[in-house]
């Protein structure tokens, strides 16, 4: 004789579990709220466990970025070089910004600024779309969402490292020989990478809530570029400005990291209009360390605070 099992109601516990609240039941059986934000330490541990995924994801996206272009990965080098050529024509030749630079070193000074600033610019723009452009991945898989903006920053770092080969050739072609200061390139890039990661995390959270921010970012970045001395020495333009404005301009993180890299590659052109002061002021390393570590911590905590909100709605 066949029997039909009686349906079991899940609305209320029975037997030994009768009388327990939902929270007590969850604690008893080790259940947790789906999508709940873990603690900061636990979140960091999960993120570290996904480090291989972050690197693989970044590498795959970088390779796929120029798949349909005939020149392929060569565009990673050609694009910043074309920007340097345009800036050199407009600012170096037409506006005569290259005057005062020793010999033909302006092109090296300019290229260092363009490459370094575009590292930050691209990280900000990619971070802004890191969540909104990957909602399918976020909703399909469970992983720390910070993996995405960090991965996009890794992509920009990989592009910069590839472009560094051309940058080194440009510096050598300008008659600048390698020196001990070239060892400072590594810590300067590490600090800038920390800064870029932090600001990318901030923009990722903002961009996940307000998609229109991606339309505004290009204008903000363009203004930041002109205020950072990428194509001309900003210090020469503000010598008669109030001291507090000069201090703020000197603390501009984009200018700080450009100065650190320019001094590392060639101390003689880091501040061409004051050749006596070829030694880098110690406060620039303080600024670089403060911006790098500070922005990373702020961005990381700011992004983590909204971890359970990404991909919903």
CA dist., res. 264 & res. 67, Å (int) = 34
CA dist., res. 148 & res. 296, Å (int) = 15
Does residue 127 sit within a domain? yes
Does residue 90 sit within a domain? yes
Measured CA to CA in angstroms, residue 119 lies from 58, 68, 159, 161, 300 at distances of 15, 23, 8, 10, 19
At residue 117, does pLDDT exceed 80? Answer: yes
Structural domain including 293 reads 52-309
Of 135, 93, 87, 90, nearest to 111 by C-alpha is 87
Q: Of 20-29, 85-94, 221-230, 296-305, give the range with the top mean pLDDT.
A: 296-305
Q: What is the pLDDT of residues 175-229, one digit of tens each?
A: 888 888 899 999 999 999 999 999 999 999 999 888 778 889 999 999 999 999 8
Does residue 263 sit within a domain? yes
pTM of the model: 0.84
Does residue 14 sit within a domain? no
Does residue 20 sit within a domain? no
Of 201, 98, 193, 103, nearest to 155 by C-alpha is 193
Other Cβ atoms within 10 Å of 265 Cβ, number: 28
Q: What is the pLDDT of residues 36-72, one digit of tens each?
A: 678 899 999 999 999 999 999 998 888 887 666 666 6
- Secondary structure of residue 225 in the 3-state scheme: helix
At residue 17, does pLDDT exceed 80? Answer: no
CA dihedral 257, 172, 176, 273 (to 10 degrees): -50
Number of separate domains in the chain: 1
- Secondary structure of residue 218 in the 3-state scheme: helix
Angle at 140 between CA 135 and CA 143, to 5 degrees: 85
């Amino acid at each position: 004789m066949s029997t039909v099992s009686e349906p079991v109601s899940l609305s209320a516990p029975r037997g030994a579990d009768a009388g327990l609240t939902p929270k007590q039941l969850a604690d008893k059986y080790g259940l947790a709220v789906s999508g709940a934000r873990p603690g900061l330490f636990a979140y960091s541990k999960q993120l570290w466990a996904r480090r291989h995924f972050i690197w693989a994801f970044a590498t795959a996206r970088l390779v796929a970025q120029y798949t349909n272009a005939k020149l392929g990965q060569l565009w990673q080098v050609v694009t910043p070089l074309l920007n340097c050529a345009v800036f050199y024509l407009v600012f170096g030749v037409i506006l005569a910004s290259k005057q005062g630079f020793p010999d033909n070193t302006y092109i090296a000074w300019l290229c260092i600024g363009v490459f370094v600033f575009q590292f930050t610019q691209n990280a900000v723009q990619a971070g802004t779309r890191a969540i909104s452009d990957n909602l399918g991945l976020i909703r399909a898989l469970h992983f720390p969402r910070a993996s995405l903006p960090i991965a996009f920053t890794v992509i920009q770092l990989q592009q910069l490292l590839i472009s560094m080969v051309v940058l080194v050739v440009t510096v050598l072609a300008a008659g600048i020989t390698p020196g001990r200061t070239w060892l400072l390139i590594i810590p300067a890039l590490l600090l800038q990478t920390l800064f870029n990661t932090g600001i990318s995390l901030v923009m990722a959270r903002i961009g996940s809530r307000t998609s229109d921010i991606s339309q505004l970012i290009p204008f903000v970045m363009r203004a930041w570029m002109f205020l950072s001395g990428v194509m001309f020495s900003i210090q020469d333009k503000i010598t008669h400005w109030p001291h507090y404005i000069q201090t703020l301009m000197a603390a501009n993180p984009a200018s700080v990291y450009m100065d650190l890299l320019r001094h590392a590659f060639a101390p003689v052109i880091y501040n061409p209009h004051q050749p006596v002061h070829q030694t880098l002021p110690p406060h620039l390393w303080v600024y670089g360390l403060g911006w790098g570590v500070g922005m990373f911590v702020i961005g990381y905590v700011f992004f983590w605070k909204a971890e359970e909100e990404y991909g919903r709605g």
